[in-house]
């Protein structure tokens, strides 16, 4: 459609714009029509007024008409009235089926009203106010006629040529529209629903569509966003559930079938008379896989890998220690057949002590490699060189990931081709230190190719069961994963290369499912995973059960205070509430050291520090003194939160609040172990209370959360002690820095 410029007059500026010719002519046509209608209405109104008040007729302003003297006869007034009535009826019929035409710009109307108001006399305005209700419409038409007349003058059309030009405009408009094949109503009509602001979905056309000469690109109906459901493997969605009530669900050691008599006797000598639910669930499964010997799986098939997630202190260590010891008790040749990987040295030392205690009567050799000794001495403890080659000196190896990789790559004769069990304790933490790529190096050593030219592997990797694979007898390689906060991230679990895994998950939902008689439902069958799991809290979309569980015997409390009052709150908990064995967690090594020095300056009770600043030998002495009760408060980092089993811990204090729910669970898990009672207190600021409650929602916690208040009497009691300790703290820190700095003589000697 051709475009041309027309001059548009606004009240504020004389800006110009571009409009289409059809739009311009349509607009002008409607303006002229309205001007004629209002001219007729104004003429009839003026005629009535002149008939009533002939002496004031000279003051009335009337538009120009065809008569020379400007007067109107009575007959003409009647004809005008009839035409006006007929016009209004016709207009009402059209308004029902047709949308109103474009209106004149408001700024133009305002300008015309302002100019015409100066021309109308004061008496004429008074008569307009006195007019009756029936003549209100005529008054509105009069004003619009005046405004349209002024607009016509601005467009350089005088009132005499308006009537002559009307027919021409009509003809030109129709011709222009027909020439361009455009329907005028298509440009002017707008649905009533859009005018009123209510958009009906039936009117909206989805996708690109033509509207006049324009293409609407993005008009679509509003659709509901579907929630993306999480899809997990079946073994994660359908676990074997384990009860968590340690006080009731116990089985006596003497009544347990399938366990070696020597191991039962050793357990009872160490004061262990009952098995917990996780042990009752896992021991039969693992013992069944080794009942035909360590070199053959159950019925000759490759055993399935095991993943276990249960609360802290529920007995996960014995769940893998006892089956491994029983399977290796009849071994003839010493080979590395069990490997236990742990993320921290202190935890590795603890598991090593458990293995050494129960393997002594079975004549099995257990070796610990974690960097405590010189690397060469660790090599000598693992292998021994003979005339015919290297001989293994270890049946069971407990290691950290970093040192394990070092020995695989650097220790000659360290053979893992006969490895039967790989235990990953605190598996979620071990996954985070995959930077050593220890699992890839381990699997290469396990499935190592022989030195012969046969080109075949001494141990085939697990895969589909075939006749060729079943006909060959080879030592299976089984992986056992344990953690209190085992991840359900399938991407991380895929890196472990699990073979048909089975998940054993501790859940409190079993306790809630009971029949009408009040008896609890039985545990799911250990032979077939997921038998009763459909009755548990798993929906159809595959959403997981709550995997983080807090011990039922734990009492949780929190105390709101400022950071400057945390030391006072800690003193109040230890001294006033009478806790004798307390563990206090911080988020950094520096905070641990400063808090320990501050408490030592207060000197109200024995305090010790447990962090990476302390050497391994000193850590063992500190833990031994803490277990005996000679140390009342142990300030430590989160390295101690993982798996450390210390007896008779009364209170766990989170001096600095943890960021993750896994850290919180491992912290509070240092107390309330093995069904005993325990208390945890979190020192929080006001805005951190919400985060604590959010974390507890992610756990299956039955205990109520109570608040402790710090009174003014307690503050007054400990503020003088705190002031003196704070003043002495910088002096002690400076003294430590001087000791740690090397002397000038030593620097010169080292350079030389």
DSSP class of 572:
I
Distances (CA, A) of 590 to 572, 597, 730: 23, 11, 14
For domain 235-448+475-507, the CATH class is alpha beta
- In angstroms, the CA 71 to CA 57 distance is 10
Instruction: Assign 312 a pLDDT band (cuts: 50, 70, 90).
Output: confident
- In angstroms, the CA 315 to CA 239 distance is 19
pLDDT at 12: 38
Instruction: Assign 144 a pLDDT band (cuts: 50, 70, 90).
Output: low
pLDDT at 359: 94
Instruction: Assign 50 a pLDDT band (cuts: 50, 70, 90).
Output: low
pLDDT at 201: 45
pLDDT for residue 115 is more than 80: no
Instruction: Assign 51 a pLDDT band (cuts: 50, 70, 90).
Output: low
pLDDT for residue 218 is more than 70: no
Render pLDDT for 433-443 as a digit per residue (tens, 0 to 9). Answer: 765 688 989 99
CA 415 to chain centre: 44
* Four-way CATH pick for 548-738: 3.65.10.10, 3.40.50.410, 3.40.50.300, 3.10.105.10: 3.40.50.300
Name the β-bridge partners of 216: 209
pLDDT for residue 646 is more than 70: yes
CB crowding 377-393: b at 16 or more within 10 Å, else e: ebbebbbeeeeeeeebe
Please state whether 227 falls in left (phi above 0), alpha (psi between -120 and 50) or beta. Answer: beta
The predicted model gives 705-729 an average pLDDT of: 93
pLDDT at 74: 56
Q: Is 400 exposed, middle or buried (CB count within 10 Å of its CB: 0-12, 13-18, 19+)?
A: buried
E strand spans, 15-94? 16-20
Q: Which two structure tokens, joined as six digits, stand for 646?
A: 């210390």
Grouping H, G, I as helix, E, B as strand and the rest as coil, residue 740 is helix
pLDDT for residue 204 is more than 80: no
CATH fold match for the domains 235-448+475-507 and 548-738 = yes
pLDDT at 174: 47
Grouping H, G, I as helix, E, B as strand and the rest as coil, residue 485 is coil
- In angstroms, the CA 586 to CA 588 distance is 6
Q: Name which of 196-200, 228-232, 260-264, 505-509 the model is least confident about.
A: 196-200
Closest CA to 314 of 562, 732, 645, 570: 645
Instruction: Assign 244 a pLDDT band (cuts: 50, 70, 90).
Output: confident
Q: Where are the domains of the chain?
A: 235-448+475-507, 548-738
Render pLDDT for 581-628 as a digit per residue (tens, 0 to 9). Answer: 999 999 999 999 999 999 999 999 999 999 989 988 898 899 999 999
Q: What value does the mean pLDDT of the chain take?
A: 75
pLDDT for residue 378 is more than 90: yes
CA 86 to chain centre: 71
pLDDT for residue 580 is more than 50: yes
The predicted model gives 94-100 an average pLDDT of: 57
Q: Which residue has the higher pLDDT, 16 or 373?
A: 373
Q: Name which of 356-365, 502-511, 513-522, 720-729 the model is least confident about.
A: 513-522
pLDDT for residue 108 is more than 80: no
| % of the chain at pLDDT higher than 70 | 66
The predicted model gives 109-123 an average pLDDT of: 46
Please state whether 313 falls in left (phi above 0), alpha (psi between -120 and 50) or beta. Answer: left
DSSP class of 520:
B
pLDDT at 221: 60
Distances (CA, A) of 752 to 64, 745, 746, 748, 749: 119, 11, 10, 6, 5
């Amino acid at each position: 459609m051709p475009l041309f410029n027309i001059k548009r007059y606004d009240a504020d500026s004389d800006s110009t714009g571009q409009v289409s010719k059809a739009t311009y002519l349509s607009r002008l046509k409607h303006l002229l029509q309205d001007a004629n209608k209002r001219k007729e209405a104004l003429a009839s109104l003026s005629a009535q007024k002149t008939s009533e008040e002939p002496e004031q007729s000279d003051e009335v302003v009337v538009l120009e008409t065809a008569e020379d003297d400007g007067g109107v006869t009575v007959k003409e007034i009647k004809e005008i009235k009839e035409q006006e009535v007929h016009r209004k009826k016709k207009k009402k019929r059209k308004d029902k089926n047709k949308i109103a035409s474009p209106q004149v710009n408001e700024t133009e109307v305002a300008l015309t009203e302002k100019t015409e108001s100066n021309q109308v006399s004061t008496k004429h305005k008074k008569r307009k106010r006195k007019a009756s209700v029936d003549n209100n419409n005529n008054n509105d038409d009069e004003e619009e006629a005046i405004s349209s007349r002024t607009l016509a003058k601005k467009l350089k059309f005088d009132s005499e040529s308006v009537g002559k030009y009307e027919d021409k405009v009509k003809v030109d408009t129709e011709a222009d529209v027909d020439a361009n094949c455009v329907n005028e109503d298509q440009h002017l009509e707008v649905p009533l629903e859009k005018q009123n602001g209510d958009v009906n979905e039936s009117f909206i056309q989805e996708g690109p569509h033509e509207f006049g000469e324009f293409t609407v690109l993005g008009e679509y109906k509003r659709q509901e966003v579907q929630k993306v459901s999480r899809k997990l493997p079946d073994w994660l969605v359908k676990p074997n559930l384990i009860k968590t009530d340690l006080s009731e669900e116990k089985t006596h050691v003497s009544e347990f079938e399938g366990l070696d008599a020597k191991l039962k006797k050793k357990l009872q000598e160490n004061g262990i008379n009952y098995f917990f639910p996780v042990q009752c669930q896992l021991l039969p499964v693992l013992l069944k896989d080794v009942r035909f010997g360590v070199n053959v799986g159950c019925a000759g098939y490759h055993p399935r890998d095991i993943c276990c997630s249960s609360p802290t202190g529920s007995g996960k260590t014995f769940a893998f220690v006892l089956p491994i010891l029983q399977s290796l008790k009849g071994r003839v040749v010493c080979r590395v057949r069990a490997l236990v990987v742990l993320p921290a040295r202190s935890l590795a030392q603890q598991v090593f002590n458990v293995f050494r205690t129960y393997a002594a009567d079975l004549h099995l050799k257990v070796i610990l490699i974690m960097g405590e000794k010189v690397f060469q001495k660790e090599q000598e403890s693992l292998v021994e060189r003979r005339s015919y080659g290297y001989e293994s000196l270890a049946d069971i190896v407990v290691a950290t990931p970093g040192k394990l990789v070092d020995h695989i790559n650097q220790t000659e004769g360290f053979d893992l081709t006969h490895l039967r069990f790989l235990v990953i304790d605190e598996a979620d933490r071990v996954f985070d230190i995959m930077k050593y790529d220890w699992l890839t190096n381990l699997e290469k050593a396990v499935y190592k190719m022989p030195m012969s030219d046969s080109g075949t592997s001494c141990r085939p990797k697990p895969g589909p069961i075939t006749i060729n694979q079943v006909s060959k007898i080879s030592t299976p390689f089984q992986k056992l994963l344990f953690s209190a906060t085992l991840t359900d991230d399938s991407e991380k679990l895929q890196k472990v290369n699990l073979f048909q895994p089975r998940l054993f998950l501790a859940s409190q939902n079993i306790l809630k499912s009971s029949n009408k008689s009040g008896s609890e439902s039985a545990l799911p069958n250990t032979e077939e995973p997921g038998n009763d799991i459909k009755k548990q809290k798993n929906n159809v979309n595959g959403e997981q059960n709550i995997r983080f569980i807090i011990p039922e015997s734990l009492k949780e409390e929190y105390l709101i205070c400022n950071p400057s009052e945390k030391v006072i709150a800690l003193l109040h908990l230890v001294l006033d509430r009478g806790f004798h064995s307390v563990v206090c967690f911080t988020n950094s090594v520096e905070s641990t050291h400063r808090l320990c020095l501050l408490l030592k300056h207060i000197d109200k009770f024995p305090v010790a520090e447990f962090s990476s600043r302390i050497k391994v030998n000193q850590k063992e002495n500190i833990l031994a003194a803490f277990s005996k009760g000679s140390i009342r408060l142990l300030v430590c980092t989160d390295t101690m939160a993982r798996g450390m089993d210390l007896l008779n811990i009364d209170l766990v204090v989170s001096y600095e609040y943890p960021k993750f729910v896994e850290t919180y669970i491992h912290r509070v898990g240092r107390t309330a172990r093995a069904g005993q009672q325990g208390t945890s207190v979190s020192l929080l600021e006001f805005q951190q209370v919400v985060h604590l409650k959010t974390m507890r929602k992610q756990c299956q916690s039955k205990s109520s959360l109570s608040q402790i208040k710090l009174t003014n009497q307690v503050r007054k009691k400990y503020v003088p002690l705190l002031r003196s300790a704070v003043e002495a703290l910088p002096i002690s820190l400076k003294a430590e820095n001087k000791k740690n700095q090397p002397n000038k003589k030593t620097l010169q000697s080292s350079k030389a």
